[in-house]
């Protein structure tokens, strides 16, 4: 089997695994739930759209945006129901920036690599500087959410929101460093959704943590 065929087989197998995880988690959450804390159908739909979006992003495919728009809409509604107001705000931001992202990625597609996006990387020093600044800002936003809203996890919500703002910009501009920041966001989001009790969303973010590693390694080949 050629290297290209092996890569393609792994890409689609990884995506299929993510979808299976969502389906199994949805079934278990609803079957084993004792007090009505099972996952809703919208959580399953949002999770599956999210799996498709992040896997296609990891592959450098512009089709990531099609599924991304659907995931943002469904996820925003879930966050409203859970009173995660910081996450609602970030999803409005995602929707708007993804419109611009389609334009940017179309200009960076590489016909020599199956029309995958051409990637690049920030310097190590600049990456650390960006991370340091976002952590400080996240602390301030968390304090505001804790004081002025009913957000059940104000600091976790703020942290994922602020870091994701930066990661989204890096993703749109095709910087591989985005995967480091998304990994941080996803780890914290696992804890946040476990606290809320939505296990479909928890499973989604566990899978996304793995996808960050997969995405970074894949984007290294798309320079």
Q: Where are the domains of the chain?
A: 3-109+121-220
Work out the pLDDT band at 39, boundaries 50, 70, 90.
Answer: low
User: Which long-range contacts link 23-32 to residues 24+ away (Cβ below 8 Å)?
Assistant: 23/48, 25/199, 25/200, 25/202, 25/203, 26/200, 28/199, 29/199, 29/200
* Cα–Cα dist 13/18, whole Å: 9
Residue 32 pLDDT > 70, yes or no? no
pLDDT grade, residue 7 (50/70/90)?
low
Residue 207 has pLDDT above 90, yes or no: no
- Give the number of other Cβ atoms within 10 Å of residue 149's Cβ: 14
Q: What is the pLDDT of residues 182-206, one digit of tens each?
A: 998 888 888 877 877 777 678 778 8
Q: Which of 43-52, 56-65, 152-161 has the lowest mean pLDDT?
A: 152-161
Q: What is the mean pLDDT of residues 56-62?
A: 93
34 pLDDT tier (thresholds 50, 70, 90): very low
| pTM of the complete model | 0.80
Question: Which residue did the predictor score with more confidence, 78 or 60?
Answer: 60
Mean pLDDT of 128-141: 88
Instruction: Write down the mean pLDDT value for the chain.
Output: 84
Highest mean pLDDT out of 89-98, 152-161, 190-199: 89-98
At 19-31, the pLDDT tens digits run: 998 888 788 777 7
Between 135 and 87, residue with greater pLDDT:
135
Which SS3 state, helix, strand or coil, does residue 117 take? strand
d(CA 168, CA 153): 22
- Confidence at 211, pLDDT banded by 50, 70, 90: very high
């Amino acid at each position: 089997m050629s290297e290209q065929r092996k890569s393609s087989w792994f890409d689609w197998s990884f995506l299929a695994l993510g979808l299976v995880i969502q389906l199994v988690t949805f079934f278990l959450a609803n079957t084993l739930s004792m007090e009505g804390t099972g996952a809703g159908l919208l959580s399953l739909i949002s999770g599956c759209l999210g799996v498709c979006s992040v896997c296609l992003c990891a592959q450098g495919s512009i089709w990531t945006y099609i599924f991304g728009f659907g995931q943002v809409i469904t996820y925003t509604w879930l966050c409203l129901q859970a009173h995660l107001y910081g996450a609602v705000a970030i999803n409005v931001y995602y929707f708007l920036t993804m419109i611009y992202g389609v334009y940017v990625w179309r200009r960076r597609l590489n016909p020599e690599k199956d029309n995958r996006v051409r990637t690049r990387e920030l310097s190590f020093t600049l990456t650390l500087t960006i991370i340091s600044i976002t952590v400080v800002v996240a602390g301030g936003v968390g304090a505001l959410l804790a004081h002025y809203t009913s957000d059940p996890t104000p600091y976790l919500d703020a942290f994922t929101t602020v870091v994701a703002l930066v990661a989204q910009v890096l993703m749109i501009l095709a910087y591989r460093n985005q995967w480091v920041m998304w990994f941080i966001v996803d780890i914290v989001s696992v804890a946040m959704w476990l606290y809320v009790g939505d296990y479909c969303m928890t499973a989604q973010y566990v899978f996304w943590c793995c996808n960050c590693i997969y995405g970074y390694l894949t984007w290294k080949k798309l320079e």
